[in-house]
Amino acid sequence: MEAESTENAIETRGLTKRFGRFTAVDSLDLEIARGEIYGLLGPNGAGKTTTIKMLCGLLKTTDGRAQVAGMPAGDRRASADIGYMPQEVALYEGLTVHQNIRFFGRVFGLSGRQTDEREEELLEFVNLAEWRDVLVARLSGGMKHRVSLTCALVHSPALLLLDEPTVGVDPELRVSFWDYFTRIKGRGRTIVITTHYMDEARRCDRIGFMRDGRLIAEGTVPEIQSLAGKEDLEDAFMVLAERSEGGEAA
Ligand SMILES: Nc1ncnc2c1ncn2[C@@H]1O[C@H](COP(=O)(O)OP(=O)(O)OP(=O)(O)O)[C@@H](O)[C@H]1O
Ligand SMILES: [Mg+2]
């Protein structure tokens, strides 16, 4: 389903998540356009995963609102439009690669044949075609990540929420993942991706830098560089983090 009510794939206003007294995500305002690759960066515990989970409706928001694929976050009508890859791989270890993909295909209402067609293409892309009938329990960590990405992509969603999709994936394959992301962006897909890799951050159209639950800087790579007065992105984030601690607006 493609909702036309807004230009943006994602819009949040004051999006907040508290766990007890602890605020994990603090009044987040995001506007992510359709067809954009948006990188969510920030140190461990910054609130990236919590944000993604609220966007795909796995976590209830404490405050604020979020519109995702034209629907309020968590609305089941948007689920066919969303592909979510969790940070922690969630596959059925006792099933084969093929059976896992079949399962996810069925969840999204694809027929066996439709799933098989997608599966072939996707397993080729993640370079796992010959592992199709192997139990997931027998795969390496990086391979499981690749299957997990396949499962998130099986229904050709318009919006991809990818939580560290390239962790443990070897450099060569990481490059081919990014080529693929760029290709599907060209077909109008929106991708929100969390990463700790600066080379990946550089490939995003825009980056949001989170820290302590807040978005402390946002923009294109050149904008972030000029905001911080640093060419190197890692240095730029250090400067912006220090500034935010000093209470100065980034
Ligand atoms: N279910 C929970 N209950 C209590 N606190 C939580 C829960 N989930 C997350 N948190 C806390 O919220 C904060 C943000 O966590 P989150 O997983 O969103 O960070 P992250 O930016 O994804 O970090 P990482 O880079 O390590 O993946 C952390 O301090 C974490 O301990
Ligand atoms: Mg995380």
Sketch the domain layout of the chain as residue ranges.
8-245
Q: Ligand 1 pocket check: which of 15, 50, 89, 237 to mutate, most ligand atoms within 8 Å of Cβ?
A: 50
Query: For residue 79, what pLDDT is reported?
Result: 84
Ligand 1 pocket, 105 CB below 6 A? Answer: no
Which one-letter amino acid corresponds to residue 193?
I
Which one-letter amino acid corresponds to residue 36?
E
Rounded to the nearest angstrom, the distance between the alpha carbon of 91 and the centre of ligand 1 is 21
Q: Which residues on adjacent β-strands are paired with residue 211?
A: 214
Q: Which residues on adjacent β-strands are paired with residue 186?
A: none
Q: Which ligand is nearest to the CA of 197?
A: 1
Query: For residue 247, what pLDDT is reported?
Result: 59
Please check the confidence at residue 4 and state whether its pLDDT lies above 70.
Answer: no
Q: How do residues 88-104 score in pLDDT, each as one tens digit?
A: 888 999 999 999 999 99
CA-to-CA separations, 92 to 17, 109, 146, in angstroms, rounded: 29, 19, 14
**For the chain, how big is the Rg over CA atoms in Å?**
18
Residue 6's pLDDT band (boundaries 50, 70, 90)?
low
CATH architecture of 8-245: 3-Layer(aba) Sandwich (3.40)
Ligand 1 pocket, 50 CB below 6 A? Answer: yes
